[in-house]
Amino acid sequence: MRLFGQRLSVAATIGLVIIVVNILAAVLAPVVAPYGEADIIGDVWDAPETSQTVFGLDNLGRDMFSRLLYGARTTITIALITTLLSFTIGCVFGFAAAVAGGWLDMLLSRIVDALMAIPTLIFALLVLSVLGTSIPVLIGTIAVLDSTRVFRLSRAVAMNIVPLEYVEAARLRGEGLAWVMRREVLPNALPPLIAEFGLRFCFTFLFIAALSFLGLGIQPPFADWGGMVRDNAQAISFGGIAPLIPAAAIAILTIGVNLVVDWILSIHAARRA
C-alpha cells in the first residue's frame, strides 16, 4: 500500500487501518448502532447478553456499543474541526509574522508568548467556566489555545523559506503578502505541517476527552468517550469494565494516528537527507 507516493511501513499500515475504522464508525454510527445514544434498554451495568449489547450497558442502562459509535462521531468530529481551525489561525499568523517581519512579527510573537505562559488546561477551565460549555465555545477556546503551538512551528518553518531565491523573486515582482504566503511559503512548508497536524489532532482529541472527564467538555445528551469514562468510573469498584472500553478506544486511536505521523516524519527526514 502506498501513500503520498511512498510505500507504507507495517506500523503505518496498522495506524492507517485504525484511523479508517474509526472514521467509518463515526460516519456510519446511525446505521451500525443497534440503539440510539440515549436509549435506556436495561439495568445499570448489565453484562453483555445478546449480540446487540456486546459491551454491556452503562451507568444508566444505555448500550455501550451504540454510545461508543456515537461517541466516535462526536469526539472525532469536534477534534478535527478544532484542529483545522487552530491550524488556520496558527499558520496564517505564523506565515505573516515570518514574511512581513518587523513590528508585526514582534507583536504576534509577544502575544503568543503571553498565551503560552499560562498552563493550557487552567486557561481552558477558566474560559469554559465563564463562557459556558457549549460546543462552539469549546471549539473556539481549544483552537485559540492550540494555535499558539502551530504559530511557533509555522513561523519557524517559514523563516527558513523566506530567505530563499524564489521568495525574493516573488517580492521583486511586486507580489503581496497573501500571495507569497499562499503560493510560495505554504507549498514548501506542507511536510512538517502535515506531521504536526496529526500530533495536534492527538493533543486536541485527548484534551477534549480530559475536559469531558472533568465535566467541562462535551455535555449530555451527546455521547463522547471522555464523558463515558467519567460516567462509568464507579463500575471499576464492582468489577465492571465499562470505563475501560472508551478509555481503550481513546488510546487505540491516539496510537494509530501517531504511527502514521511517525512514518510521515521518517519519509520527510529521508528526503531532506
Domains and CATH numbers, the chain: 9-43+53-260 (1.10.3720.10)
Dihedrals φ, ψ of 40, to 5°? -90, 120
Q: How many other CB atoms are found less than 10 A from the CB of residue 225?
A: 26
Q: Contact 68/249 with Cβ under 8 angstroms?
A: yes
> Which pLDDT value is given to residue 3?
61
> Which pLDDT value is given to residue 268?
67
The percent of the chain in helix, strand and coil, each rounded to the nearest 5, is 75, 5, 25
Name, in order, each residue with C-beta under 8 angstroms of 82's C-beta and a sequence gap of 6 or more.
Answer: 138, 139, 142, 143, 146, 204, 208
Stretches in the chain below the pLDDT threshold 70:
1-6, 49-52, 268-273
> Which pLDDT value is given to residue 85?
94
The model's pTM: 0.86
> Which pLDDT value is given to residue 35?
86
Q: Contact 95/158 with Cβ under 8 angstroms?
A: yes
